[in-house]
Amino acid sequence: MLPRGRPRALGAAALLLLLLLLIGFLLLGGDPECERLEPDGRAGDLGCPRCPLTPRVPSDGRLRGASALDGDPMAGLWDHNRSACDPWPQLPPKCELLHVAIVCAGHNSSRDVITLVKSLLFYRKNPLHLHLVTDAVARNILETLFRTWMVPALGVSFYHADQLQPQISWIPNKHYSGLYGLMKLVLPGILPPGLARVIVLDTDVTFASDIAELWALFAYFSDKQVIGLVENQSDWYLGNLWKNHRPWPALGRGFNTGVILLWLDRLRQVGWEQIWTLTAQRELLTLAATSLADQDIFNAVIKEHPELVQPLPCVWNVQLSDHTRAEHCYSEAADLKVIHWNSPKKVRVKNKHAGSFRNFYLTFLGYDGNLLRRELFGCPSQTLPEAEQLQRALAQLDEEDACFEFRQQQLTVHRVHITFLPHKPPPPRPHDITLVAQLSMDRLQMLEVLCRHWPGPMSLALYLTDAEAQQFLHFVEASPVLSARQDVAYHVVYREGPLYPVNQLRNVALAQALTPYVFLSDIDFLPAYSLYDYLRASIEQLELGSRRKAALVVPAFETLRYRFTFPSSKAELLALLDSGLLYTFRYHEWPQGHAPTDYARWREAQAPYRVQWAADYEPYVVVPRDCPRYDPRFVGFGWNKVAHIVELDAQEFELLVLPEAFTIHLPHAPSLDISRFRSSSTYRDCLQALKEEFHQDLSRRYGAAALKYLTALQQPRSPA
Amino acid sequence: MLPRGRPRALGAAALLLLLLLLIGFLLLGGDPECERLEPDGRAGDLGCPRCPLTPRVPSDGRLRGASALDGDPMAGLWDHNRSACDPWPQLPPKCELLHVAIVCAGHNSSRDVITLVKSLLFYRKNPLHLHLVTDAVARNILETLFRTWMVPALGVSFYHADQLQPQISWIPNKHYSGLYGLMKLVLPGILPPGLARVIVLDTDVTFASDIAELWALFAYFSDKQVIGLVENQSDWYLGNLWKNHRPWPALGRGFNTGVILLWLDRLRQVGWEQIWTLTAQRELLTLAATSLADQDIFNAVIKEHPELVQPLPCVWNVQLSDHTRAEHCYSEAADLKVIHWNSPKKVRVKNKHAGSFRNFYLTFLGYDGNLLRRELFGCPSQTLPEAEQLQRALAQLDEEDACFEFRQQQLTVHRVHITFLPHKPPPPRPHDITLVAQLSMDRLQMLEVLCRHWPGPMSLALYLTDAEAQQFLHFVEASPVLSARQDVAYHVVYREGPLYPVNQLRNVALAQALTPYVFLSDIDFLPAYSLYDYLRASIEQLELGSRRKAALVVPAFETLRYRFTFPSSKAELLALLDSGLLYTFRYHEWPQGHAPTDYARWREAQAPYRVQWAADYEPYVVVPRDCPRYDPRFVGFGWNKVAHIVELDAQEFELLVLPEAFTIHLPHAPSLDISRFRSSSTYRDCLQALKEEFHQDLSRRYGAAALKYLTALQQPRSPA
């Protein structure tokens, strides 16, 4: 074996440089079209080969430096389009962990960051670790999301944005990103001390390539360089946009901080915190505030210390603001790497090619995130323990089992995006009630009318694809009624598998209810206009919280007509019932579902009355938030609410029917699940098997007390 | 300027080779982990840099040859995983046109080819030209698809598979691809003589990278090499799979022909047709038939002429058949390029990692093809004239116009996939009738019951996203009723824009009806069980084809109940009408829509009777297939059928009500479009504007005769 180590490598590098020059001279040197690429980027057409990445070895062999900024920086050191015949910068080994930091606050940024992460994951081939600096809202959303997403080879750490505020809140800032924009400055201090390098991203960027290619650019940093940035693609920092326009100091057009390569350990060594703090303090003596948040301060620091920056090829941050010069970059590039929607209008920005760029963004906006759960082959132990356990459980299922689909659906862990839209938690009130329900796209038109009937808080789980979630967002934005309601929390559960996971959806909505009580409803029901107030008064009068463990029953009715005038009182409801325009719920098909409510007694009742559980009873009830969860084994159609009422009864909840409460079911076409149930004997057999397993579990948990449920089950009767 | 040309380039190449060897020796030569990558692919972890592509310069400097096949071919000339430090093969210039040939026959392969093309387009950065060898079915589907897709920088040519059959039909073949598989052999003879190189793909491959990288491998061909292929990743050609297993001759494991680089002009020069024909004839003296179609013949030729083949890196054809050795390829690869579902089970193949691979496929299966309409920047004139015209028209719209959304929707060209599922055209019969209707996902549950009511041919347009189209496919496959019907043609129109393009959908379904008559229905209507037979008899009796220009009116009724017994006769229907269980259609909300049908007269009628047009009349009618089209300006809700009946009347169609015909509307929740209509005054105003423009056009076309429609319009009345 030959001697190894640094001296040999250095020798090789020197030789390589020399040889590349020589080859370059022979192959290209005499070909002016290739050496000096024209702005129209046609060199390739003339027979100059194209290389997929962009750092170009200049004729003097220097690989680094900020000299790009002399003269026209776009034509400088970094060739911003496909360059001729350069070696590909060496990609990190395929199992090397790459680190990404993102600052994210609030509901809307949380959605943005997910789209960004989808684009990252789509192209990535390396394990990734996300360092997320978040406010409480974003943390709540993103923790749930990543826990349920279970992407192999993806680590996530959270950092409290609130705790960083003191470090930057002294800086006056006029940018729309507010304080959060400035937090990128303090990352070297808060990320783990052992972390040497990180890529920092704004939430409004979209990847169109493998982030490992960006990571590879760290290799071009000189020993002194600590920050990699793309030039700002607007004239802002030239300071000539309007009379008295006085931007913060910058080198030439300055740099954009939407994509940053941070060499953290070097930053810590050079005393980064002191450097930027001093610069900011000095500039703020003459400038009132930052206009572009952290970006102003980064640029002021770089103006003073140009040796710190490694300019990056423009394709790594194609900036689509209103007056962007980005076209200079992309019209020559074969290959766009990162698109930055850095206009306050975001993807609605108007510029010549925005439509084509938007397609990159829309690709990931609607992309099925479940598909990103794919493994990286050949890297060790990327799988999360939960995911591994799940894989094992799924692998143990018998595909020949007639109920295979049911079992698979029960085991499925759905990706969950809680509070998908902005939401204000209700103020704490001792008897407040959240309406809990679940739905899919085909019931969206119920939301407005439901809002009119229930003026209180709601927690709704929506079973959607990623693309449908965007349709839902537009639907809410287009509705004045829905947009006005900040007390309705929408939780998106992403679709996976053939059966509707009704009880898993109910549990998601239930877990996110923030009031002491919940009204467990279904989306096709409209409550009496007065129900919200009446229920709260009833809870107070019955002293439900302290004195009694009870479930309040809201009697259910149905209409078979599309257009009908909703009764404004119990008296009106009874009149409609008598005239045959209303029925008690599922009176014709499944009377035992509500028979124990005792509609005859309800007619006359003036006070709440207690009823006894009976087989197949499935009333709509109000219970404390900490009530038993729904049994997630019931997927698709059938018995999902019945099992929950059994559980309430087993836990000795009193069932109290309220004399003035009512809710009315509106007609709709039969769901695909109910059609399957009706047409498939396997489906019915599987439901029967689920019921039996449920009862076995009941016996295990409640012993002899559960015997009555089993006895009731064994009376033959068709389920509905 | 220095001297240029071949001698200098050759000198440079020689020097390059020498230098690479020297550098390789210095940097890597002494590092056995890098030189001999271990099967676990960990070299990268040891600090060996990773290069994104794979052709490796072997230590003897030879770049080409078939010596890979001596010994273990997987460890041979081509390093099948990321290799260390090699120069990236030069990509073609970004505007160079790349050519792809695909053989495709039938409905199912047409769907496959679209998914393949989506994956190609997603990653491509070059203009592409597709050469499609198709049967009549696939040509019909794909011509419509590509015409309406309007992808910039994508050319498509079609070649008649039928005309090629004589050239290959003499070869007995046992492979499931049938004759079509063999057609790859004759491509050099049928593709344009000026076409020098082409990439040939099977329909069951999915791209996970830019095809330009594959094209770049042509550069590694020696002067004699004409075919680039990946080794076969199974033991089939080793001939030891079972006793007396006797495959066609091949070098080692042989090659797979799912992905082929064909150097066409050289193939023509070496007399390819004669070579393969002689080889096949000779082998068929001892072998009964080909087992793997063209692949057997390609391999037999290569066994005899190994100098013709350039082996390609395995990542360009990762074969996922049942007993695949593909894991040897991908477990070491950082980067999979092309996945090949070459099991008859296709993506349902069982192997260890099929789930992860399937995600690549599912990505493009559900990918919104509209997003692939993006331009390639910086290449001249890629846009189709139609697309340019459309762009101009869209650019001229005034975004401030309250009806902007309507105008935009009217101009939208929807991608159309006709006969999405297998379909047998009805046998030609002189009085046959196709039921024509349109629907979206929320009406799928109508299809089964509609099939029960209408035993004749149907042409249905479905307005779906790409992902929904797959759900629809599964829905049909799961339904015995629907699977059994080959006379129902489903045409997918891909969703784009906020308004439902109802009349464009109707026109697609109407254009695809193949019988002389059509029944223009809506999806929520169930025809009388006897209607199909009765209508055919009526057409014959009324001598509709020759004697009369008439539209036969089918009276419409409605039920407001979900469950009701469909009347089996006119008498039963009348009884239901009298008992209030049925109404005439929209009797309560929009009586003028059907009033001219004269239900009172219909009650008593024994023979067809003529009725006169009146304002807002919109009956369901039977007309000849060549009837006027629907006016596509009516998008969303309102007036879309009314305008069509006006057009029929203007063209002097008699309106004849049939005494025994009826159809019944089933209840459903209001569509989102009707909700918008009811809640938005802008929506109503825009509809009014559309109606006025429609009448201006009528006057232009029919002159004074159209005056009566305008007069009728000007009587104030709310539209529905």
Across chain B, mean pLDDT equals 85
Name every chain A residue with its beta carbon within 8 A of the beta carbon of B52.
Answer: 52, 88, 91
Whether B356 and A375 lie within 8 Å, measured CB to CB: yes
Q: What is the rounded CA–CA span in Å between residue B6 and residue B14?
A: 12
Q: Within 10 Å of residue A632's Cβ, how many Cβ atoms?
A: 18
Q: Which residue of B has its CA nearest to A125?
A: B334
CA distances (Å), origin A274, targets A256, A408, A511, B196: 22, 56, 45, 63
HSE (CB half, 13 Å, CA atoms) of A219?
14
Pairing mode, strands B525-527 and B663-665:
antiparallel
Q: What is the DSSP string of A21-48?
A: HHHHIIIIIT-HHHHS--TT-GGGGGT-
Q: What is the rounded CA–CA span in Å between residue A137 and residue A123?
A: 28
Q: Shortest CA distance to A188 belongs to which of A95, A109, A277, A254?
A: A277
Task: Answer for the pair B293, B177: CB distance below 8 angstroms, yes or no.
Answer: yes
List the single range of A513-522, B281-290, B535-544, B669-678 with lowest mean pLDDT.
Answer: B669-678
Instruction: Measure CB to CB from residue A44 to each of B11, B48, B94 and give the nearest one.
Output: B94
Q: What is the DSSP string of B632-669?
A: TT--SSSSHHHHHHHHHHHTT-EEEE-TT--EEEPP-P
Identify the three-state secondary structure at position A565.
coil
Q: Shortest CA distance to B519 belongs to which of B508, B510, B511?
A: B510
Q: What is the pLDDT of residues B7-20, one digit of tens each?
A: 454 555 555 555 55
How does residue B62 score in pLDDT terms, banded at 50, 70 and 90?
Answer: very low
Whether A371 and B363 lie within 8 Å, measured CB to CB: yes
Size of interface A-B (CB pairs under 8 A): 203
Q: Which amino acid is at B53?
A: L
Positive or negative, the CA dihedral B348, B350, B351, B352 is positive
Is the per-residue pLDDT at B714 higher than 80?
A: no
Q: Within 10 Å of residue B471's Cβ, how many Cβ atoms?
A: 17
Query: B702: distance to nearest CA of chain A, Å?
Result: 40
Q: What is the pLDDT of residues A403-457, one digit of tens each?
A: 888 899 999 999 999 999 999 999 999 999 999 999 999 899 899 999 999 999 9
List the single range of A638-647, B115-124, B451-460 with lowest mean pLDDT.
Answer: A638-647
Whether B672 and A444 lie within 8 Å, measured CB to CB: yes
What's residue A26's pLDDT? 39
Is the per-residue pLDDT at A527 higher than 90?
A: yes
Strands (E), A298-348: 309-312, 318-319, 338-340
What's residue A679's pLDDT? 67
Q: Which residue of A has its CA nearest to B679?
A: A479
Instruction: Measure CB to CB from residue B26 to each of A12, A88, A331 and give the nearest one.
Output: A12
Is the per-residue pLDDT at B51 higher than 50?
A: no
Name every chain A residue with its beta carbon within 8 A of the beta carbon of B41.
Answer: 94, 378
3-state helix, strand and coil shares in percent for chain B, rounded to the nearest 5? 45, 15, 40
How does residue B482 score in pLDDT terms, banded at 50, 70 and 90?
Answer: very high
Instruction: Measure CB to CB from residue B371 to each of A45, A363, A562 and give the nearest one.
Output: A363
Whether B333 and A377 lie within 8 Å, measured CB to CB: yes
Q: What is the pLDDT of residues B234-244, one digit of tens each?
A: 999 998 888 88
What's residue B2's pLDDT? 39
Q: What is the pLDDT of residues A178-231, one digit of tens each?
A: 889 899 999 999 999 999 999 999 999 999 999 999 999 999 999 999 999 999
Q: What is the rounded CA–CA span in Å between residue A300 and residue A470?
A: 39
User: Which residues are within 8 A (CB) of A315 and not within 5 positions of it... i.e. 6 or more apart?
Assistant: A54, A80, A81, A329, A330, A333, A335, A336, A337, A338
- In terms of pLDDT, which residue wins out, B16 or B500? B500
Identify the three-state secondary structure at position B704.
helix
List the single range of A92-96, A111-115, A229-233, B707-711 with lowest mean pLDDT.
Answer: B707-711
What's residue A80's pLDDT? 34
- In terms of pLDDT, which residue wins out, B3 or A580? A580
Name every chain A residue with its beta carbon within 8 A of the beta carbon of B90.
Answer: 49-51, 85
Whether A87 and B87 lie within 8 Å, measured CB to CB: yes
How does residue A354 score in pLDDT terms, banded at 50, 70 and 90?
Answer: confident
Whether A49 and B91 lie within 8 Å, measured CB to CB: yes
What integer is the mean pLDDT of B327-335?
79
What's residue B27's pLDDT? 39
Positive or negative, the CA dihedral A286, A291, A293, A294 is negative
Query: A21: distance to nearest CA of chain B, Å?
Result: 11
The conformation of residue B612, written as its DSSP 8-state character, comes to -
Q: Which residue of A has its CA nearest to B16?
A: A23
Identify the three-state secondary structure at position A325.
coil
Q: Shortest CA distance to B351 belongs to which of B384, B389, B381, B321?
A: B321
List the single range of A388-397, A421-430, B199-208, B434-443 with lowest mean pLDDT.
Answer: A388-397
Query: B256: distance to nearest CA of chain A, Å?
Result: 23
Instruction: Measure CB to CB from residue B29 to each of A2, A41, A330 and give the nearest one.
Output: A2
Whether A30 and B3 lie within 8 Å, measured CB to CB: yes
Q: Shortest CA distance to A559 belongs to which of A677, A456, A662?
A: A662
Q: What is the DSSP string of A133-183?
A: EE-HHHHHHHHHHHHHH--TTEEEEEEEHHHHHHHHTTS-B-STTHHHHHG
Adjacent-strand bridge partners of A525: A665
What's residue A60's pLDDT? 32
Whether A125 and B335 lie within 8 Å, measured CB to CB: yes
Q: What is the rounded CA–CA span in Å between residue B576 and residue B557?
A: 11
CA distances (Å), origin A485, targets A112, A506, A514, B717: 22, 21, 16, 36
What's residue B239's pLDDT? 87
CA distances (Å), origin A115, targets A110, A122, A159, A375, A549: 9, 11, 20, 20, 44
Q: What is the rounded CA–CA span in Å between residue A310 and residue A307?
A: 8
Name every chain B residue with its beta carbon within 8 A of the beta carbon of A366.
Answer: 368
What integer is the mean pLDDT of A596-620?
96
Three-state secondary structure string covering B372-397: HHCCCCCCCCCCCHHHHHHHHHHHHC
Both ends of chain A: CA-CA distance in Å? 77
Name every chain B residue with its beta carbon within 8 A of the beta carbon of A335.
Answer: 125
If you count them, how many residues does chain A have? Answer: 720
Q: What is the rounded CA–CA span in Å between residue A626 and residue A514?
A: 10
Q: In the structure encoding, which two tokens stand for residue B281, read together?
A: 């004839």
Residue with tokens 């056009």: B697
How does residue A577 score in pLDDT terms, banded at 50, 70 and 90?
Answer: very high
Interface predicted TM-score of the whole assembly (ipTM), two decimals = 0.83
Name every chain B residue with its beta carbon within 8 A of the beta carbon of A2.
Answer: 29-30
Whether B16 and A4 lie within 8 Å, measured CB to CB: no
What integer is the mean pLDDT of A485-492?
97
Name every chain B residue with its beta carbon within 8 A of the beta carbon of A465.
Answer: 467
Instruction: Measure CB to CB from residue A44 to each of B23, B93, B331 and give the nearest one.
Output: B93
The conformation of residue B309, written as its DSSP 8-state character, comes to E
How does residue B382 score in pLDDT terms, banded at 50, 70 and 90?
Answer: low
How does residue B571 score in pLDDT terms, banded at 50, 70 and 90?
Answer: very high
What's residue A348's pLDDT? 73
Q: What is the pLDDT of residues B256-265, one digit of tens each?
A: 999 999 999 9
Whether A669 and B670 lie within 8 Å, measured CB to CB: no
Whether B335 and A2 lie within 8 Å, measured CB to CB: no
What's residue B678's pLDDT? 64
Q: What is the pLDDT of residues A52-92, one digit of tens each?
A: 333 333 333 333 333 333 333 333 334 333 333 344 568 89
Whether B22 and A15 lie within 8 Å, measured CB to CB: yes
Alpha helix ranges (H) inside A153-293: 161-168, 178-182, 187-190, 211-215, 264-270, 272-283
Q: How would you list the strands of the sheet with A309-312, edge to edge?
A: A154-160, A128-134, A98-104, A197-201, A255-263, A227-231, A309-312
Q: Shortest CA distance to A458 belongs to which of A428, A485, A489, A486?
A: A489
The reply to whether the predicted model has a pTM over 0.80 is: yes
List the single range of A541-550, B144-153, B688-697 with lowest mean pLDDT.
Answer: A541-550
Adjacent-strand bridge partners of A490: A460
Query: B184: distance to nearest CA of chain A, Å?
Result: 30
User: Which residues are within 8 A (CB) of A160 and not within 5 positions of it... i.e. 6 or more apart?
Assistant: A133, A134, A139
How does residue B43 score in pLDDT terms, banded at 50, 70 and 90?
Answer: very low
Whether A359 and B377 lie within 8 Å, measured CB to CB: no
- In terms of pLDDT, which residue wins out, A244 or B81? A244
How does residue B620 score in pLDDT terms, banded at 50, 70 and 90?
Answer: very high
What's residue B675's pLDDT? 66
Name every chain B residue with its beta carbon within 8 A of the beta carbon of A560.
Answer: 560-562
Is the per-residue pLDDT at B170 higher than 50?
A: yes
Q: What is the rounded CA–CA span in Å between residue B623 and residue B632?
A: 19
What's residue B187's pLDDT? 97
List the single range of A134-148, B84-98, B398-412 with lowest mean pLDDT.
Answer: B84-98
Q: What is the pLDDT of residues A357-376, one digit of tens each?
A: 888 899 999 999 999 998 88
Across chain A, mean pLDDT equals 85
Is the per-residue pLDDT at A38 higher than 60?
A: no
What's residue B18's pLDDT? 52
What's residue B122's pLDDT? 96
Adjacent-strand bridge partners of B198: B262
What's residue B674's pLDDT? 63
Pairing mode, strands B556-558 and A550-554:
unpaired
How does residue A672 score in pLDDT terms, banded at 50, 70 and 90?
Answer: low
Q: CB burial class (10 A; 0-12, 13-18, 19+) of residue B600?
A: exposed
What integer is the mean pLDDT of B435-447?
93
Q: Shortest CA distance to A365 belongs to which of A211, A469, A496, A475?
A: A469
Q: What is the DSSP string of A489-509?
A: EEEEEE--SSS--HHHHHHHH
